[in-house]
């Protein structure tokens, strides 16, 4: 099956069974969905048959399972069916249920894999957008759980499961493809420690639990209707849950997910982090349209005002004036800048002093625009309260703002700052003298 296009189900298919936590009977159907739809649950047992997005923003509780909610409408234990859809290469689907929880089956995602295969999978006419992780994403929690995503050209999970007192410490690592998911991950069943059963029942959970749909660990022994399917079945099931929970970020990724003692809480926190980091990455794409109007100056206008020339002209366009007191300019930072080959060539960043110079040039444009100052040159006198807050990298669009603080005779003072994607990267207060050229 090609993986460079989005995929959905070729037809609808149904599965009946008992839910794990509520213990009720439920019928679940998976249905085709259009491009860009993602995964959505639909409660067909409720008035208006409401939808709930499979989105980390909808996560409400994460005790022993992941629960989504939209107002009073809830869907419990969503991770197994989402894991199966994602693992089998489905991007868009509607999951309809006549109850608030999917059937638990045998405690694995294999029943959902079989359902997906029954429905069939078809390619759609839109390229699949997969985010390649370029910088590590890391989180830790107080209970010893850590999850890290590091760059990789494939999607891979590596999981270490550690039970109470170190019991059943297991490790599993695999690339995740539809074939590997079906064979190596989907059959792994959910498990519970015997000492946790009574507290869970007291909380109204696992009402539908039995040795037919879960493995129970008592001491160092395993209680199950059948032998363990893998020597490291618990670690594999943790990987299964992790895949489902991370997909709540709404993004397929290329990256290596490394998890120690994962659980639904930490998993969904990481999903929220992935969603947030993806949004931050996308925000690095500058606006398609540049503000226009009478005060916008293109490069030819800038060259008429400033005496600087390549390679020291650090202003590409003036995009806004607010009266005579504020000016905003743009500098497109490209890998072709002459300073990158010599300034940390293996990790190119724009020198801070050049950001300061860019602020000075924009300040000069603001001052030299006045009729009485035309034809003059602005010379630096001082720079105070200068701060650099984060690196400026090739591909960034630098927005440079300057505001007049005071003018006295030929001495001007401005407060300036540089921004990338709305975040301040550097700032300072500049003083300079305007002299005849």
With the CA atoms of 263, 265, 267 and 273 taken in that order, what torsion angle do they form, in degrees rounded to the nearest 10? -160
By C-alpha distance, which of 271, 253, 274 is closest to 176? Answer: 253
Contact 77, 207 (CB under 8 A): no
> How many Å apart are CA 85 and CA 163, to the nearest integer?
28
The residues that are catalytic are 264, 343
Q: Where are the beta strands (DSSP E) in 98-212?
A: 121-127, 130-132, 137-140, 146-150, 155-161, 170-175, 191-193
Helix (H, G, I), strand (E, B) or coil at 344: coil
Residue in the structure block whose two tokens are 């629960």: 67
By C-alpha distance, which of 110, 52, 93, 57 is closest to 76? Answer: 52
Between helix 233-246 and helix 79-87 the angle, nearest 10°, is 90
* Rg of the chain in Å (alpha carbons): 29
∠ CA(109), CA(162), CA(246), 5° rounding? Answer: 45
Which string of DSSP letters, residue by residue, matches 364-404? HHHHHTSGGGTTEEEEEEEEEEEEE-S---TT-EEEEEEEE
Residues in the chain: 437
Token readout for 222 is: 């395993």
By C-alpha distance, which of 204, 215, 263, 211 is closest to 21? Answer: 204
Contact 234, 240 (CB under 8 A): no
Helix (H, G, I), strand (E, B) or coil at 283: coil
User: What are the CA-CA distances from residue 8 to residues 80, 115, 119, 403 (Å)?
Assistant: 18, 13, 10, 53
Task: Please state whether the peptide bond connecting residue 311 to the residue before it is cis, i.e. omega within 30 degrees of 0.
Answer: yes
Contact 401, 417 (CB under 8 A): yes
Between helix 233-246 and helix 264-282 the angle, nearest 10°, is 40
Contact 82, 244 (CB under 8 A): yes
């Amino acid at each position: 099956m090609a993986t460079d296009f989005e995929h959905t189900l070729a037809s609808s298919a149904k599965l009946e069974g008992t839910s794990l936590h509520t213990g009720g009977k439920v019928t679940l159907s998976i249905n085709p969905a259009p491009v860009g739809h993602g995964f959505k649950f639909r409660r067909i047992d409720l008035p208006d048959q409401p939808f709930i997005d499979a989105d980390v923003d909808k996560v409400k509780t994460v005790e022993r399972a992941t629960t989504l909610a939209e107002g009073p409408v809830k869907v419990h234990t969503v991770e197994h069916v989402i894991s199966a859809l994602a693992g089998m290469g489905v991007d868009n689907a509607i999951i309809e249920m006549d109850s608030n929880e999917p059937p638990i089956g045998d405690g694995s995602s294999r029943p959902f894999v079989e359902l997906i295969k029954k429905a069939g999978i078809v390619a759609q006419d839109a390229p699949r957008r997969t985010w390649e992780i370029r910088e590590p994403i890391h989180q830790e929690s107080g209970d010893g759980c850590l999850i890290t995503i590091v760059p990789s050209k494939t999607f891979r999970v590596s999981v270490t499961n550690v039970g109470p007192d170190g019991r059943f410490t297991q490790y599993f690592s695999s690339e995740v493809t539809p074939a590997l998911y079906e064979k190596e991950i989907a059959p792994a069943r959910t498990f519970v420690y015997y000492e946790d059963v009574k507290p869970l029942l007291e909380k109204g959970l696992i009402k539908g639990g039995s040795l037919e749909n879960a493995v129970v660990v008592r001491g160092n022994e395993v209680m199950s209707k059948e032998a363990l399917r893998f020597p490291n079945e618990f670690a594999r099931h943790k990987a299964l849950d992790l895949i489902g929970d991370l997909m709540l970020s709404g993004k397929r990724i290329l990256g290596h997910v490394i998890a120690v003692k994962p659980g639904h809480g930490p998993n969904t926190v990481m999903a929220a982090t992935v969603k947030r980091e993806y949004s931050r990455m996308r925000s690095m794409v500058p606006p398609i349209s540049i503000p226009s109007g009478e005060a916008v100056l293109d490069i030819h206008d800038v060259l008429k005002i400033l005496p600087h020339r390549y390679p020291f002209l650090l202003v590409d366009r003036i995009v806004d004036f607010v009266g005579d007191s504020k000016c905003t300019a743009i500098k497109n930072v490209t890998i072709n800048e002459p300073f990158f080959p010599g300034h940390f060539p293996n990790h190119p960043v724009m020198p801070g002093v050049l950001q300061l110079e860019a602020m000075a040039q924009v300040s000069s444009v603001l001052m030299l625009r006045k009729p009485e100052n035309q034809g003059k040159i602005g010379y630096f006198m001082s720079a105070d309260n200068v701060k650099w807050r984060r690196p400026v990298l090739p591909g960034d669009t630098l927005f440079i703002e300057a505001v007049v603080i005071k003018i006295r005779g030929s001495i001007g003072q401005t407060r300036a700052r540089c921004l990338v994607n709305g975040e301040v990267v550097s700032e300072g207060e500049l003083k300079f003298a305007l002299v005849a050229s």
